[in-house]
Amino acid sequence: MQAVVLVGGQGTRLRPLTESRPKPMMSLVDRPFVAHQIDHLVRAGVRDVIFSCGYRPDALESHFGDGGAFGVTLNYVVDPEPLGTAGAVKNAEPLIHADRFLVLNGDILTDLDLHAMLAQHQATGAVGTIALTPVEDPSAFGLVRLHGDRSVEEFVEKPSADELRPGEPYRINAGTYLMERGALEFIPAGQKVSIERETFPAIAATGGLYGYPSDSYWRDIGTPASYLDANVDVLAGAVTTEAPTPGPYLAAGVSVGSATIGSDACIGADTQIANGASVQRSVVGARVRIGGGAQVRGALLGDDVVVEPGAAVLEGVVIGDGAVIGAGCEVRDASIPTGAVVHPDGRVLAAS
C-alpha cells in the first residue's frame, strides 16, 4: 500500500517560525514533524510514500532525499498552485500505482491503528474510510455522523447547539483516510478541490464512504499552543513515537550551566544556557543563547535567538529566528518577528 502525505501548507498560524521552514519541517522533539508520520507509516508496514508539496518543497527533499535513510521509498510531487486537499491528491495520481492508498494531512500527530482501520475498510467494501476522533465540543469543527454500519450519514460543519442530537457522539475528521483508487474519479483534475467539503460528500452520496472512530492519540499541530502541547506529549510518552522519552530532550552540543531544565522542555542543538537560567515547558531552537538568570516558560523560540540575562520569556510567546530579547525584559503572550530586537523599555525594533 502507498501513502500520500499532504505537506503543501504554508503554516501561517505558526509564523514567524514557518517563515524560514515549512510546517512539516518544524522540529518535534528530536526530528522534523513529518518524520514522525513516516515512522508511523513504517510501523504499519507502509514503505511507499508520496510527499504532496507546495510551500518550500526544497527543504523537504534536501532532508529526506529518496527516503532510504528513513526506511521508505519517497517520491515528491509539487502542486503548481494551491489545489486544496483533494486537488493535491489528484495531482499525485501519476505516482499512485496501488489499488488502495492512505492519505495523511501533514499536520496531524497520531498513533492511530492503521491495521485496524484497514481491516474495517476491507470488511465494508468502502470506496473511502475516514478516521474519526472524539471531541467534547464539535462547534469549531465539522461533525461527522454515521449510520449503524459506520457508513457516513452526513457532515455538519461547525454545528450550532440546536443542530446537535441528544446523546450523539461528537466525532470529527481526524485527517487520515483510506481510499480505493476509484475514489480519484470523484476529483476533477487541475482544479482546487476540498476533500472534506466536496469529495467526501460526493462519495458519501453513493453509500461508499465510511467512518472509523478511534480513541487513539490525536493532535493538530497547526497552532503555537497545540505545537507546544505536542512536544510535551511526546516527551511524556502520551503518544507512540520513536523519540526518546521521558524528557527533557537536549540535542547534541547543548551546554547547560547551573540551570533548571524542566522535563517538558526541548532544547535544540548547540544551545547555551547560562547559570541561574530556567527553561520550562518550552521548545528552544538551535544555537540559542539564554543568559544568566533568564526565564523561558511556555514559549517557542526559533533558531539563533538570544535571551539576555535576567529576561523573562513567558507563556504564549513565539520568537522568530535570530531575534534578541534584551536584558531584564519581560515578554508574555506575544509574537516576536524574525530578527527583531526587544529593548528593556518594551520597544520592539524590526530587523533592518
| Cell representation of residue 106 | 501533514
- Displacement of CA 209 from its chain's centroid (Å): 25
Residue 280 pairs in a beta bridge with: 297
Residue carrying the nine cell digits 528513513: 70
d(CA 159, CA 304): 44
| Secondary structure letter of residue 165 according to DSSP | P
d(CA 11, CA 197): 21
- At 339, phi and psi to the nearest 5? 75, 5
Q: Where are the beta strands (DSSP E) in 118-187?
A: 128-134, 142-146, 152-157, 171-180
- At 30, phi and psi to the nearest 5? -110, 5
| Secondary structure letter of residue 67 according to DSSP | S
Q: Is 192 a catalytic residue?
A: no
d(CA 83, CA 198): 13
Beta-carbon contacts of 204 under 8 Å, excluding residues fewer than 6 positions away, are 151, 152, 154, 155
The DSSP code sequence of 227-248 is: HHHHHHHHHHT-S--SS--SS-
- At 124, phi and psi to the nearest 5? -85, -15
Q: What spatial distance separates the first Cα and last Cα of the chain, rounded to whole Å?
A: 50
Q: Out of 23, 90, 158, 192, which one is annotated catalytic?
A: 158
d(CA 170, CA 134): 6
DSSP H or E stretch at residue 301:
strand 300-301
Residues with catalytic function: 158
